[in-house]
Amino acid sequence: MPTKPPGKNKKAKPGTNQALRGTFTAEEVARLEGWLPQYLKIKRVPGKKFADFWGPLFQEYFTNHPMPTLTPEELARDVAQGIPAEGRQLTVQRRIKEWFNNHSRVATSGTGKRKLLDLTKDTSPRMLALYQVYGQMNKERLVPIISKEWADKVMSGEHTDNEKAKLLAKVPIDFWNSALRRTFNAEPADVQKAVDVWRRENRATEKGHGSKYENSVDQAEAYHQAQQALVPTMQIILENILDQTKMIGFFTVVGPQPMYGGNIGAITIFSGRNQIGHDFGDVYTAVKWKENIEDPLLQFASTIFSRHGAYTPLPSVTPSTRSTPGPSTTTPKDVREANALDLLPIDQDSDSDGDEELHEYLSQPSKQAVDSSAAEAVPTSPSSQGHEPDTPEIVEDRDETHEGGDVDVDDTQAQYPPQAPVDISLAPTWDNGAQITLEECRVLMALPSDIERARIMTIRLRDCQSLKDGLIERLVPIVEKPVPGAKQAAAKKKKAKVKPVEVTKKDRGNKQSDRTKVSELALSPSPGHSDYSVPIPSTAAISVSSHVSSQALGINDSAIPTWVEEFLEHLSPMCPDERWNSLLVKWVDLERQLGFPIKGRGKAQMLSVTNRPTQIGVWINANRPWNKIPPIGPGASEDYSTSWWLWWRSLQPEWRRLDLSCDLRGHGGSDWNWDESRKGSQNGFSIVILSLGWWFAGLKTAKGKWGCGSAMKDVEWVLDQMLASSASATLGKRTHGDASSGPPSKRGKK
């Protein structure tokens, strides 16, 4: 068999063998990189227009890097492989195009979603349409006319009073453009010609070459458009992260917002929801998120962005070693904006804190001029100069005497010493003219520093503008923040617990209750899901033993067993509210309907433990000590509320587990099934009532409601349905005399 002669390769098929491969030399790469900025600029313009780019590039490249002369052997090999004479040069040109494409490519995840963050696109200036120019020239005259046409059109389609009472939406762009076209076409020919002449004379040939005002407006518009593109881009990034890595998280960005006049705001985008539809922000609570994350971030951002020139960063004393993200913007449903005002707890005491100081402030002229003069004396921020501010001079400039009274800033600062020196450049004055009430002014005067007053007043000014524009329906009130110190000591004295007095069974009938009997309470029958606020427990009522016997609730003592009496004695003080008493009465009615069953461990008497809060199981396993009730305070409330709702859903019938629906239509007959919750004894529905009592007892202020109001409404509604249901309980009823009898024999009958 003849062997293949050495050096003889099999003939390749034409077009399949790439004879010219390899990389560019360093000199060639340097020449290509010189053309890369121009290539990127052309690529950013919609529509690829490279006709005038490749020709000059190839001419310069091959002039400086000519193709080598081919030997006869190389020419013969090219002919054998089907490569034309100019084939090598075409191959180099193709490699050059591939190089530019590889060095300007926007990577994708395979689904067409962008990964490279590019929020802005350079566009060449375009000539506006005639009707748009006409609208700009006659804006003051046309806005009221078109707005009235839009209002008439909307109101003509509304029929009910509720629909007419809704806020009128802004004029949409399509209606605005159609009205402009119609109005412009109705103008005479000389007016239309004048508009065309004005359009051509004032057309911008290049961005950034207009007046200073036009350039600033263009810059603000560019930031606004980029911020609008930021939120969906971040949502896509979070979706890609979840799909590809099974990891969740969030983005929080702060910065100046052009839509609010450059005021600094915060935007948060969450990823991931649990079984009940809550994201991490719901579990962590908005109050803690604002206090621990957004407020510190906003305070830090105020040192980076100037308040009066929000888009110009302040000079840094020390160069930052880390890059920080830029500003962010508007929000869909999964995006959270920073709260407009501090959600401070309501001051429920009767102290008149700072009333004299408030009277002095209201009786004097505005301090805006005085603070402005003080700000002029300090032209730059102390932090930007690299030294500590001269505090005595600043305070001296601010202490002024007026005819209406003397205001001494040192008195306020002595009572509430600031934690850090006040930066005059960031807050030269806090009275910006925004509308505030007398009570809100008193709250502001009680704040420890002018920087906090200025921040809240800036937010109030922004909210006033939003209210004027129809973005919000009402202003959020400014409420007082509790002052630490003497009030905390007084609160601790109030919380001193008094050891409860042991009450025997025979003494309960003669014990007088400090509560009104249920017959005297003004309770509405079957409130259902009526909206009411969650009752806030009084610390004194919880700490002092205020046992309520069954007789005080309108129940005959001889009709209920001892364990129900014990439950009532400890449950009633947990929430000093009439609705809570009403809930207890309905629970006793349910136990009576079930025959007051004794404690058992059968499925017919025990609620499901799926997703039940761990505190309940710990308390039951510890032999149910009433003197060691697990605390459900701010540290454990979030986990407790999440577990409680999951547990409560597992106890519902199949038709309402998903959305806790209260619509009974279509769920009659066999669909009525309260078997999972209609259970008596100490292991039955009493555990649900007990868990609600713990929840209420953990509330200290109106600031931490944690969804207790919704839980109480739903439990009461379910109790009403179980009491009204005609389904018979599977448990046998006992006689009244068996209330204290022991458990039956566990032996089955033979």
- DSSP for 70-105, please give it: PPHHHHHHHHHTT--TTHHHHHHHHHHHHHHHHTS-
375 pLDDT more than 60? no
Q: What was the pLDDT predicted at 532?
A: 37
Report for 43-52, 409-418, 424-433: range of highest mean pLDDT: 43-52
The residue among 717, 585, 730 whose CA lies nearest residue 653 is 717
Q: Quick: pLDDT tens for 634-674.
A: 667 777 888 888 888 888 888 888 777 776 665 554 456 78
Q: Which of 43-47, 460-464, 601-605 has the highest mean pLDDT?
A: 460-464
Percent share of the chain, pLDDT over 90: 1
Q: CA 531, CA 139: separation in Å to the nearest integer?
A: 46
For 133, phi and psi rounded to 5 degrees?
Answer: -65, -40
Q: Quick count: other Cβ atoms within 10 Å of Cβ 117?
A: 11
Q: What is the mean pLDDT of the chain?
A: 66
Question: What is the per-residue pLDDT for 188?
Answer: 92
- Cα–Cα distance for residue pair 573/540, rounded to 1 Å: 10
CA 182 to chain centre: 43
What phi and psi values does residue 355 have, to the nearest 5 degrees?
Answer: -65, -40
Look-up: residue for tokens 């003669």?
510
Distance between CA 570 and CA 696 in Å, rounded?
13
Angle between helices 708-724 and 578-593 (to 10 degrees): 30
- Residue 551's pLDDT is 55
Q: What is the signed CA dihedral for 440, 446, 447, 449, rounded to 10 degrees?
A: 120
Q: Which amino acid is at 466?
A: S
Q: Is the dihedral of CA 134, 138, 141, 147 positive or negative?
A: positive
pLDDT greater than 70 at residue 121: no
Q: Sign of dihedral through CA atoms 71, 76, 80, 85? A: positive
- Measure the CA dihedral 652/715/671/593, to 10°: 110
- Which of the residue ranges 181-195, 206-220, 238-252 would you say has the lowest mean pLDDT? 206-220
647 burial level (CB within 10 Å; 0-12, 13-18, 19+): buried
CA distance 363 to 381: 32
Percent helix, strand, coil in the chain, to 5, is: 45, 5, 50
Beta bridge partners of residue 240, listed in sequence order: none
Return phi, psi of residue 401, to 5°. Answer: -110, 130
List the beta strands (DSSP E) in 314-431: 335-337, 400-402, 405-407
Over residues 190-208, mean pLDDT: 76
pLDDT at 632 over 50: yes
What pLDDT shows up at residue 557? 52
pTM more than 0.85 = no
Structure tokens given for 111: 């689904």
The predicted pLDDT at position 495 comes to: 44
Please check the confidence at residue 416 and state whether its pLDDT lies above 70: no
Residues 123-136 have a mean pLDDT of 75
Angle between helices 562-571 and 686-697 in degrees, nearest 10: 20
- Out of 89-103, 631-645, 722-736, pick the least confident: 722-736
What is residue 247's predicted lDDT score, i.e. its pLDDT? 92
For residue 740, give the 3-state DSSP assignment. coil
